[in-house]
Structure 1
Amino acid sequence: MDQKPYLVLIDADTRRRAQISHALGTGIHVEPFESIGELGNTFHPDAIALVNDAEDLVGSLLRELADAGEWLPVIAYSENPTTERIAETILAGAMDYMTWPFDATRLGERLSLVAKRAAGIGAVRRREVSARKRVHKLTRREREVLSGVASGLSNRLIGERLCISPRTVEIHRANMLNKMGAGHTSEAIRIAIDAELVD
């Protein structure tokens, strides 16, 4: 990494937090937190979260970040994780998984790897999270209209597909644009694509 890594450490175990913080010494800036609630919603732009995978802490963090329209690269860790648990956590959005105990050298290597991967996908992930948050504001019917619009269907064809009138489609379409903060249809389509609502 070109600059000093910035690590957000979330672990309810005081002793383990201290061990990890101490082991990393001065090479990595560590901000230790006992819980997600203590973390708040302000993140260093280059932060990587190292999170103890206990009581679905990793999943909770990923969901809270998504709800806030934020994204943060996450490395999960625990003692004796099962292969299934590692796979579930990675599929939920963590970028890496480590087995505790680990040493500072090993963690430093993983942080470098995750930072490089995050630099490549960070902007895409942030855009995706933001888009999903905007789409989440829509009603089911407005999402259906958005999907139709993004598929290139006219108001008449969307109406036929949804068994509603073209005028009703227009009303849903206007509401959809307003809720999403989209100035025009092409912007709404881009948001739908970013949210993976359409291919």
Structure 2
Amino acid sequence: MTRRNNLLLVDGDFRRRAAISHCLSGSGLHVEPFEDTSELFSRWPRDGLLLVHDNGTAIADLLQHMGQTGDWLPIIAFADEPSPRRIVEAVLHGAVDYMVWPFDERQLTDSMDLAEERARSVAGAKLREAVARSRVERLTKREREVLAGVAGGLSNRLIGEKLNISPRTVEIHRANMLNKMGATHTSEAIRIAIEASLVG
């Protein structure tokens, strides 16, 4: 199995970035350090593996960016003494692995191998979900309600009755919804809603 040799390290702590870079200095990996996600976004790489300090917002920011751009890179999250809940949340949101700092070169390269394996199986699905979520987030609350009604197989009249608005207003919201989602027809909007986990 070939592993990416470009490790993109996102961590606001200068000392920890330096320690991780030093730990990997003889590994043959190219470590590119970034202070935060906005610095990474301004120089988004073509390839690599993200090693991200889980500061509470970085993973969500990265997934939102990848959903909007369609450029997916696997994420390994890490933190000092993370709670089990925090680890589970990071993985559910899209991290392919989670490490506890401090770690050594062997632990990291093992995690990178695991991340590559998982990335192949989940990257496509995670990327589709992230792209779909970013499209659904463009909608107003009312447009999301109309989308949920459409996905539930309701007619404009029934959606209107449920939301206490006229069928004509539903039609307007429906047209706006399709336009904002970049969908050419209703079935495409429903597929996007399913990929975004808005409907089951």
Equivalent residue, structure 1, for 2:61: 64
**Larger deviation: 189-198 or 160-169?**
160-169
SS, match of residue 40 in structure 1: helix
The alignment's TM-score, normalised by the length of structure 2, stands at 0.86
Question: What is the root-mean-square deviation of aligned Cα atoms in Å?
Answer: 2.1
Distance 1:95 1:4 in 2: 14
Question: After TM superposition, which residue ranges in structure 1, 4 or more long, deviate above 6 angstroms?
Answer: none
Query: Which stretches in structure 2 are left out of the alignment for 5+ residues?
Result: none
Letter of the 1:9 counterpart:
L
CA distance in 1, matches of 2:154, 2:85: 42
Q: Supply the distance in 1 between the matched residues of 2:29 and 2:39 (Cα, whole angstroms).
A: 21
Counterpart-to-counterpart distance in 1, 2:87 and 2:185: 42
Q: Match for 2:12: what amino acid? A: A
Structure 2 CA distance for partners of 1:159 and 1:106, relative to 1, 3 Å: same
Of all paired residues, the percent bearing the same amino acid is 57
The aligned length equals 195
Matching residue of 2:183: 182
Q: Write the mapping of 1:1-199 to structure 2, written as runs, cut at 5 A.
A: 1-24=1-24, 25-53=26-54, 56=55, 59-68=56-65, 69-70=67-68, 71-199=72-200
Secondary structure of 1:77 counterpart: strand
1:111-148 deviation line (CA, Å, top 9, x unaligned):
11011111111111111111111111111111111111
Q: Is the 8 A contact 1:4 1:29 kept in 2?
A: no
Give me the whole-angstrom Cα distance separating, in 2, the residues matched to 1:123 and 1:162.
35
8 Å Cα contact 1:131-1:194 kept in structure 2: yes
Going from structure 1 to structure 2, the CA distance change for 1:84 and 1:139 (only over 3 Å counts) comes to closer
What is the rounded CA distance, in whole Å, between the counterparts of 1:154 and 1:41 in structure 2?
45
